[in-house]
Structure 1
């Protein structure tokens, strides 16, 4: 019999589910099974479970035809579990590395009905806080097992299902099930502990409890938080009908109930102000209804005062006390931070004048026909915003599109494109008045999100390296990043454009906020899909390439942690390996802030030998993709775009191990490459000399890569964005 069955319900957790499953399946202990329950999730959670089940016999995926909620989904998983113990792990949490061997050893030595394990809370900003276990058990029980009557302090541990492993036969005999509704753990955990004959405690952190910034019920306001009362009523009704009785523990359980109610009420992100008095009245009613005959051990100090105010039904006094406490906390934080009194100091200079002008323009109505576009920190007309702009001109002609560009980039704009120069008065005006703001990076921090405005974040590549909040785990590659400011910028987004399910999962994890994901493909790749043979020939001719040339484009990524990095690479040796017809085009990353005044190779004076050319100054990278017969890259998102053309790709990763450790990656390019792969320059030369670039293994790898990442690229991605964002079409 399998020792541990993991029941993992999944609903809107696609950004975190893979990390959860990997943390279970990647443990050195593998006597486990995973029952993954897709609770009719509207995102890609069900597909992720199915993919894991297809490649790992320990995973069993269940798809539900209707959304039943967390509790019933757990019951469905429990009914399919065959392990000796069951562990209910939520799909957005993850296990600590190497914990399972110790958990399994404790289970086998002590055979508890319930094993309590330690956890940490991990916020979206990376801040971790310990649980109450060390406070509840200052002296760890070790391998001793006990009944709750012997150690009632165990009730003070968090009443969740995921910090407990339960002997399945005990659970089935008890007949305990998860109830529907919010706060379902309450009516499960307390009866479970009250009924158990053998409770064990493992004082080792085994689970990371993710505190999500968006999407969690603890950060969702609404009247569904009143369902906490229903769950606690179930606990007391269960106690009333229990044989043998558990009356001796009723005072301790009652204290936990009042503590929990006050915790929910005190969280301003759960109970809206207009509902707080009604919620308080419900607490008072339950206090009177379930108060044990002999009373209960109320806490001391301010917390005890709150309990007494609840018993007396004194909402106004309770509310005033709460407001006074909050005011003291705010004042204390201001003193600790040395925060000055907010005031508007007189400022001089051009920037101050322009900022005042921007604030004045914010008081004027939005222009219902104005859309502002930008790309790569105002470097020019490019990428997804350019493709959306062109589609909007065709499909939404009532929308006036204006581009923001740096002054030195004005000459690069196509004829007829309206623009403003970054930093000017007109720039501040359009940012304040535009109804739509479209960018592949974030707009500056001073830009306000106005009611009625629509911000579209298109991104500029499928992520290989970790991004956003995930960079907190890799500080070497995130020097100088202010994550608090990043989140404020992300909160302005209304839409996030995604090229594939993989990107969607990574963006939602890296940039947690309430935006809507448009998983439609990348607009900038429409041109690659629709380009004709004639267009390809014309592009090659403009670049000075002959019909018989074998063109290789080399496009590496930027390395934030290694300024000035240049890979071990000899262009002439690589060009020689291509054969007599070989031409090598080399393009730097845009972070090199290219000198755009250099002539474009093929347009006149090429800056290097005719068969090795620097094309960093070419404005449209799509031209280079169309012209190239092979792409050589390292960790750049260029590979995902170029794969749309279904041409050979080579991953040249000479510093793979150093890069993944310093910068962090979402994808193992050596295990899942888009074609041939090498970690050395001699290996790169050999790939071309031997023909391995075009061989069947490379072609098969590219086919798998395209199936995973390019399935949405049909030439209509920009149209789908325009119809949803500008025309309001849904479906």
Structure 2
């Protein structure tokens, strides 16, 4: 049996209608030597049956049930274990990859490249805006990739990139209701010998109110986990990052927590408020100012003064907008 060039992992939970459209986009890719595992994460709305009908005539696709529902991280891990290609792509069920995504991304593969990242768009309604792309001159070294991650130029999402299987490890996505991909990227980035960057908008992330990032499954405290993982990592000893960039990443985690706590009533807690406040340091504030990230510095400083008042202010501003 011929091993495909790319394994695609597509988790689905009660969003079969969207998934069928995404599957159609995958089936019509200009390069077709891939396998796709659709993981039905305990859907209760008949999504599994809908998807089974949609993929019945295409042997590149297969359905893998996960019972009971275990979350997107567990579904991605199962899909990874159920596939075999050297390169892996994690797709969200309700997004819109361009029909030449597979072809263009695999063209960037080189012997020492372990990660390929493309430009992505974020669409809210009818408005699509470009998302950040790593800076520097590719291919990026591990230290350059980690630096871009800590400065927020490489976001935690995984759908606009393909990974060499060896850098993923076993079960790379943690058991969290949200932010699993961000935590995974913190672990994966230092393992990538080289990262290729393609400045073409090959993937559109569609933000919906009922998605994992947009829905109430999002626990605000999860936003603090990546910053804690960075603090625990031995990146300084391996010369992968600077103390200034690690402090900046802590600010990003703290303000992300406050944002989520404001969006979702009851998502925050006093204990998490305290943890977020501890992430705000003078080193991080100074780094933000030096990089011209003045809005981030102001938000983080306000959070340090009073996390609860800051969260309430964000929530009030959201209701008025």
Q: TM-score, normalised by structure 1?
A: 0.39
The answer to whether the 8 A contact 1:218-1:269 is kept is: no
The answer to whether the 8 A contact 2:261-2:268 is kept is: no
| Correspondence 1:60-139 to 2 at 5 A | 60-107=62-109, 109=110, 112-123=113-124, 125-133=125-133, 136-137=134-135
CA distance in 2, matches of 1:76, 1:319: 36
CA distance in 1, matches of 2:218, 2:55: 37
Instruction: Give the aligned partner of residue 205 of structure 1.
Output: 201
Instruction: Give the aligned partner of residue 256 of structure 2.
Output: 263
Match of 2:164 among 163, 167, 177: 167
SS of residue paired to 2:162: strand
**1:223 shift after superposition:** 7.7
SS of residue paired to 2:4: coil
| Correspondence 1:281-360 to 2 at 5 A | 281-287=274-280, 297-299=287-289, 300-310=293-303, 312-315=304-307, 318=310, 326=317
The answer to whether the 8 A contact 1:119-1:207 is kept is: yes
Match of 2:175 among 175, 180, 183: 180
CA distance in 1, matches of 2:131, 2:161: 14
| Correspondence 1:12-23 to 2 at 5 A | 12-23=14-25
**1:79 shift after superposition:** 0.7
The answer to whether the 8 A contact 1:36-1:60 is kept is: yes
Sort the Cα spacing of 1:50 and 1:323 in 2 relative to 1 into closer, same or farther, 3 A: closer
For residues 57-106 of structure 1, the C-alpha deviation after alignment (integer angstroms, 9 at most, x for no partner) is 11121112211111111111101111110001111112112232211211
**1:26 shift after superposition:** 0.5
Instruction: Give the aligned partner of residue 145 of structure 1.
Output: 139
Sort the Cα spacing of 1:316 and 1:11 in 2 relative to 1 into closer, same or farther, 3 A: closer
For residues 343-401 of structure 1, the C-alpha deviation after alignment (integer angstroms, 9 at most, x for no partner) is xxxxxxxxxxxxxxxxxxxxxxxxxxxxxxxxxxxxxxxxxxxxxxxxxxxxxxxxxxx
Structure 2 gap segments, 5+ residues each: none
The answer to whether the 8 A contact 2:220-2:258 is kept is: no
The answer to whether the 8 A contact 1:8-1:35 is kept is: yes
Task: Indicate the structure whose relative CO is greater, using CA pairs within 8 Å and at least 6 residues apart.
Answer: 2
Aligned pair count?
Answer: 312
SS of residue paired to 1:9: strand
Instruction: Give the aligned partner of residue 224 of structure 1.
Output: 219
Structure 1 gap segments, 5+ residues each: 334-731
Root-mean-square deviation (CA, aligned residues, Å) is: 3.2
**1:112 shift after superposition:** 1.4
CA distance in 1, matches of 2:26, 2:139: 26
Determine which structure has more spread, i.e. the larger CA radius of gyration: 1
CA distance in 2, matches of 1:25, 1:111: 29
Sort the Cα spacing of 1:122 and 1:248 in 2 relative to 1 into closer, same or farther, 3 A: closer
**1:55 shift after superposition:** 1.1
CA distance in 2, matches of 1:274, 1:169: 36
SS of residue paired to 1:86: strand
For residues 275-323 of structure 1, the C-alpha deviation after alignment (integer angstroms, 9 at most, x for no partner) is 47665333013447xx98x98722443321222344x443477468758
For residues 518-563 of structure 1, the C-alpha deviation after alignment (integer angstroms, 9 at most, x for no partner) is xxxxxxxxxxxxxxxxxxxxxxxxxxxxxxxxxxxxxxxxxxxxxx
CA distance in 2, matches of 1:306, 1:252: 17
Runs (4+) off by over 6 Å: none
